[in-house]
Homo-oligomer: A and B are copies of this chain.
Amino acid sequence: MVTSLYVGRFQPFHKGHLHAVKYIANRSDRVIIGIGSALESHTLRNPFTAGERMEMILLAIKEANLPLTKFLIIPIPDAPYHKSWVSIVETLTPSFDVVYSNEPLTRLLFKEAGYEVREIPLLKREVYSGEEFRRRVINNENWREIVSEHIANFLVTKGLIDRVRALVSTDKPK
């Protein structure tokens, strides 16, 4: 049985993430989706809470008719130091065999810890990215095409689009 780990911040969970999840699910018996920087929220870079991000992932899995029982969705807080991060992932998740990631630091840390790390084919990275999503929300451009329909509705209904816009002018760092 192959268990794969896929960690992202999912701010928000967009079509590129869904593409990756499908790709990994096709190659695994079980997929652990780690919600990174889980305790961060209410900043421009990390506007949504881990609970809100988990709701989005559940909506996307359902909307895409993926088998829900194949997935474990687990919030992963940041480590105080990069060198401890892998141990925090390991303690919070069932054990896994392969790590899927394109993020250089994530790849580096898991490789130094002895894991097999695989690339994920990217889907239209210039559109499907959290940064592009936040840019469009702030500039009132078409952010809806970046996420699934159900997630778009969720973001509006819960007032989360308004939250992103309110956070633009804060002077608090992080």
Contacts and interface: CB of A to CB of B under 8 A. Distances in A.
Most buried by B among A43, A82, A167: A82
Interface string A64-99: 000011001111010111111011101111110000
A21 interface: no
A79 B85 CA distance: 12
Contacts of A167: 104-105, 108
A99 to B, nearest CB: 15
Contact of A108 (B42, B51, B174): B42
Given A75-B74, A87-B86, A87-B87, A42 B105 contact: yes
Interface string A103-147: 111111100000000000000000000000000000000000000
Given A103-B170, A169-B104, A81 B72 contact: no
Given A72-B73, A83-B90, A84-B87, 17 more contacts: A38-B92, A39-B77, A39-B88, A41-B83, A45-B173, A51-B91, A51-B95, A54-B72, A54-B74, A68-B69, A82-B174, A103-B170, A104-B167, A104-B168, A104-B170, A105-B172, A108-B166
A39 B92 contact: yes
Question: Copy number of this protein in the oligomer?
Answer: 6
Nearest to A76: B75
A49 interface: yes
B166 A82 contact: no
A21 to B, nearest CB: 17
